[in-house]
Structure 1
């Protein structure tokens, strides 16, 4: 089941051979990851919106956390979402 990430907000590449948008995680988690990746793209980071935790998404998350002056962990929680949602796009 696809997530409801808007194509206008997200660059959604083909997952590629042997990969699916929720491989190794539940559908809801994959959708949350896609939503975060779409927001990262809106903020100017170039990440694949595929619902997968990958090094590119982690690096962009850490950069976003640094800019937002929150604890840099590479993990998305409330303290990461809230400042990102308020920053200019």
Structure 2
């Protein structure tokens, strides 16, 4: 093999933040990558389904073509229930 072509790079550790700057971070990421895994350590942290889904809606509104790989933050006291 003499050549490796990355047709659609991924960013698997991106910080979009939350609040007013989020839209710009998401758009900048979408300009460079096709897929992104945003880190859940926002303030407040993405620690339940509702917060993750709301964050995803906001990110998708800023860059609808960016594929998101979603995660949540594990916090002390969480259980598997």
Q: TM-score, normalised by structure 1?
A: 0.26
Length-normalised TM-score, structure 2: 0.27
Greater strand share, 1 or 2? 2
Higher Cα radius of gyration:
2
